[in-house]
């Protein structure tokens, strides 16, 4: 039998079928093989404690406990009848799954799912890995073994089983308080992606600056992360040009490099999963498409600080580093600006030699939660909309067409033409991210054409603008549209009757 993993009616509860090698001496199996099992979908859950339960006699039974840790269960000797009941709050509350476990079967039990077993043979040895330390004072949901709703068909009658007095007193399902997972913590909740995440995670905690000043290392060090299994860092300093100034560089280094390093250290000590957002600006843009294995090669100070943050996050035991490009969300951004200019009768000039894909904030939020909830292998993942790369000028023309303007109303200029006479940080020419690794987890981003059409339609009806039709704008993105930024667009207004001004 080849190694494979089966899903069950209880979300997140997985059955691992393992090859067992027999010879005259006995048998051998790989109880847990991290690389191959995570590649097949087993969460990389980071066990920190190994427990062994010896069951002297057939019929020994352990109660249904919804413990606050993930558990990977194996049987070293003998066999058990395993029963799992979902005690987590949600639609699957009360769902039941049973299976017989011997040396060829292992079960991954997510935290909050009630776990129980009955030994089917004398001298059965039951073994399990957990990712939190057991404490005698922990309180968690438990369920009566004879609950009529769960209706577990025990192979040995309860009257003939060895059961502890405590487990005999467990409540019926209707009396159980469902297990409530610890809320996610979203840092940078006021940014474009932060707001999208909070719409997707209504129970998440998003501290304000008054509650947690991310610019203050001491405040971050003193913050209590113990109430969170997942910390999502959507905060960043993203003003690319300002990062080249002394004050801007200090702020960029604090938020883009030092803060991620602090969070990575806390992720190791407090054992939470850390999600952090990277940027296409960590590359020099010479390669037409960037994959996760490409060496970082930033061009400017902003890219250097983001690259430093990437390296720091990479040491966190449980981390997802999500690299984005050309982010568009609520508030000011390149697409919204182009729509406003189109509505106002303006004919802008937009750079034509920067290629990439837009990443809409709602897509980023959804793509963030996919590997987290699926338990995909930790590491770096690129994410953006799908579809062919486009230049900024091509995107602007599509926006104009969606607003009823002619694409010819957008004039294409080179980056060098736009940068002439300006103190402007270098931009990568190619920002297209390879999405193969993200797709391998089962996630397919919405196409850029569909996402752009839907976003522009939400911007509202066209209306008048204070901008005069006789004026032109030269536009280029002044920031990469990072998760923590407004994604502002830098435009120079040029009157046909007067000088250029900014």
Report the catalytic residues: 302
Which spans in 201-300 are helix H?
217-222, 246-252, 259-270
Beta bridge partners of residue 311, listed in sequence order: none
Compute the distance between CA of residue 377 and CA of residue 35 in angstroms, rounded to an integer: 9
Token output for 426: 């270098």
Place of tokens 């697409």: 335
Torsion angle of alpha carbons 35, 39, 43, 44, nearest 10°? 30
Compute the distance between CA of residue 318 and CA of residue 297 in angstroms, rounded to an integer: 25
The torsion angles phi and psi of 302, rounded to 5 degrees, stand at -60, -50
Compute the distance between CA of residue 294 and CA of residue 287 in angstroms, rounded to an integer: 9
Q: Cα angle at 299 between 296 and 246, to 5 degrees?
A: 120
59: left (phi over 0), alpha (psi -120 to 50) or beta: left
Our measurement of the distance from residue 153's CA atom to the centroid of its chain's CA atoms, rounded to an integer in Å, reads: 39
3-state secondary structure of 177: coil
Q: Are 423 and 244 in contact, with CB atoms under 8 Å apart?
A: yes
Compute the distance between CA of residue 419 and CA of residue 414 in angstroms, rounded to an integer: 9
Compute the distance between CA of residue 263 and CA of residue 442 in angstroms, rounded to an integer: 28
Compute the distance between CA of residue 296 and CA of residue 311 in angstroms, rounded to an integer: 10
CA atoms within 13 A on the CB side of 50: 6
Beta bridge partners of residue 142, listed in sequence order: 65
- Of all helices (H) and strands (E), which one includes residue 95? none
């Amino acid at each position: 039998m080849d190694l494979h993993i089966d899903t069950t009616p209880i979300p997140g509860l997985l059955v691992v079928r393992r090859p067992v090698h027999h010879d005259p001496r006995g048998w051998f199996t790989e109880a847990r093989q991290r690389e191959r099992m995570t590649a097949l979908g087993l969460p990389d859950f980071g066990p920190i404690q190994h427990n062994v339960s010896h069951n002297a006699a057939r019929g020994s039974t352990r109660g249904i406990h919804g413990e606050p840790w993930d558990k990977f269960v194996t049987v070293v000797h003998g066999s058990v009848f395993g029963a799992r009941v979902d005690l987590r709050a949600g639609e699957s509350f009360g769902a039941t799954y049973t299976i017989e476990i011997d040396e060829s079967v292992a079960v991954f039990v997510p935290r909050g799912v009630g776990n129980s077993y009955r030994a089917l043979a004398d001298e059965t040895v039951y073994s399990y890995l957990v990712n939190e330390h057991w404490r005698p004072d922990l309180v968690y949901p438990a369920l009566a073994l004879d609950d009529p709703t769960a209706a577990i068909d025990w192979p040995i009658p309860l009257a003939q089983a060895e059961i502890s007095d405590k487990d005999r007193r467990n409540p019926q399902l209707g009396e159980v308080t469902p297990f409530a997972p610890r809320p996610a913590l979203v840092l940078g909740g006021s940014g474009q992606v932060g707001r999208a995440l909070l719409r997707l995670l209504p129970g998440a905690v998003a501290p304000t600056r008054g509650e947690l000043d991310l610019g203050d290392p001491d405040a971050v060090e003193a913050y209590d992360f113990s109430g969170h299994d997942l910390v999502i860092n959507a905060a960043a300093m993203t003003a690319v040009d300002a990062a080249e100034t002394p004050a801007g560089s200090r702020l960029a280094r604090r938020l883009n490099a030092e803060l991620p390093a602090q969070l990575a250290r806390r992720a190791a000590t407090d054992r939470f999963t850390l999600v952090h957002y990277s940027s296409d600006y960590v590359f020099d843009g010479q390669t037409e498409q960037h994959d996760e294995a490409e060496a970082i090669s930033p061009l400017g100070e902003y890219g250097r600080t983001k690259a430093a943050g990437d390296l720091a996050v990479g040491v966190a035991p449980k981390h997802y580093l999500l690299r984005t490009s050309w982010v568009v969300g609520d508030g000011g951004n390149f697409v919204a600006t182009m729509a406003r200019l189109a509505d106002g009768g303006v004919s802008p000039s937009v750079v034509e030699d920067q290629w990439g894909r837009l990443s809409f904030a709602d897509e980023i939020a959804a793509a963030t939660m996919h590997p987290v909830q699926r338990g995909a292998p930790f590491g770096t993942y690129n994410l953006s909309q799908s579809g062919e790369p486009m230049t900024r000028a091509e995107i602007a023309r599509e926006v104009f067409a969606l607003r009823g303007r002619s694409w010819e109303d957008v004039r294409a200029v080179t980056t060098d033409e736009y940068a002439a006479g300006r103190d402007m940080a270098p931009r990568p020419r190619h920002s297209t991210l390879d999405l193969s690794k993200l797709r391998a987890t089962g996630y397919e981003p919405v196409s850029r054409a569909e996402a752009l059409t839907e976003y522009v339609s939400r911007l509202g009806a066209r209306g008048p603008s204070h901008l005069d039709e006789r004026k032109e704008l030269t536009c280029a993105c002044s920031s990469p549209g990072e998760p923590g930024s407004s994604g502002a667009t830098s435009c120079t207004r040029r009157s046909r009757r007067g000088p250029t001004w900014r």
